[in-house]
Structure 1
Amino acid sequence: SRQRNRCVLTGRSRGYLRKFGLSRIMFRDLARVGELLGVTKSSW
């Protein structure tokens, strides 16, 4: 069977971000508390 990209924390296959290996929901939570290095809220 075809292997689908899944979030390493939740196992969620939708909304997956390949660069981080996370779903968008977990990415947002971790980025907000500063767990992801180099990720900041964008402002210009």
Structure 2
Amino acid sequence: MPSTVISRMDYDAVTQTLRIAYVSGQEYLYKAVPKPFIRSLRLRG
């Protein structure tokens, strides 16, 4: 099921940084996120 609160999700594999933008306009950066975790997120959506 697609998220109704997340408008965009970007991942930089070099810096292992995940950026999540919400429909509210807020953005959060998560650092040191391993690539396997990103794969698991994308498989769920």
As a proportion of its length, which structure holds more strand? 2
Greater length-normalized contact order (CA 8 Å, ≥ 6 residues apart): 2
Instruction: Give TM-score, length-normalised by structure 2.
Output: 0.21
Which structure's CA Rg is the greater one? 1
